[in-house]
Amino acid sequence: IFDIPVYIFSDGEKRVQDYLNESIETIYGEESDIQKSKVVYLPTGDNFERYLVSENYHEELIKALEEELGHGVIEHHIQTKDKTFIKRKPGKEICSCCGQKIFSDVFRDYSDGDRGYKKALLDCLKENKTAYSSTIANHIILNNKETEKKIPRKIKEFFEIIEHHHK
């Protein structure tokens, strides 16, 4: 109606992709393929924080968190949250009495070296992710001024799609 171009940068989680594709088809109908070409998804299963960690921006993320919350914030998180309860998760076993899935407790586990540290980093980011976005962006740009990492690849791809559609 208003002829305003719409571009979408989205998490790569399957449920998000399915919902977004369905919404685009509902809204744009015959033109949904054109609109779908204006969407950039993060790699399958990734949210933005996991994507940045997988692209080796963890140092920048740590610096941003420490700027916002103080030095040693990840270590403090590990000390206070490791082995604590997260949620109950349905298992594969079925109760013979009631026919329902048997649930088990899930606990945080940061003991797996570098992998555990990155899990703790992601958990810290998840707690207030929108509060740190500008600080994270500043650290990514400032720490990578003269490198290809100055702009994460998927964000660069997003800008290239916008540029392509406006030529």
What tens digit of pLDDT does each residue of 53-68 get?
999 999 999 999 999 9
Rounded to the nearest 5 percent, the helix, strand and coil shares of the chain are 60, 15, 30
Predicted pLDDT of residue 146? 87
Helix (H, G, I), strand (E, B) or coil at 144: coil
> Alpha carbon 130 to chain centroid distance?
12
Instruction: Determine the Cα–Cα distance for residues 25 and 39; give it in Å rounded to an integer.
Output: 13
The 8-class DSSP code of residue 37 comes to: T
Contact of 20 with 51, CB cutoff 8 Å = no
Regions in the chain scoring below 70 on pLDDT:
1
Output the CA–CA distances (angstroms, integers) from residue 150 to 6, 19, 153, in the order listed: 25, 31, 9
Report long-range pairs for 82-87 (Cβ below 8 Å, ≥24 apart). 82/108, 82/109, 82/110, 82/111, 82/120, 83/107, 83/108, 83/109, 84/108
pTM: 0.82
Distance CA 28, CA 34 (A): 9
pLDDT of residue 1: 54
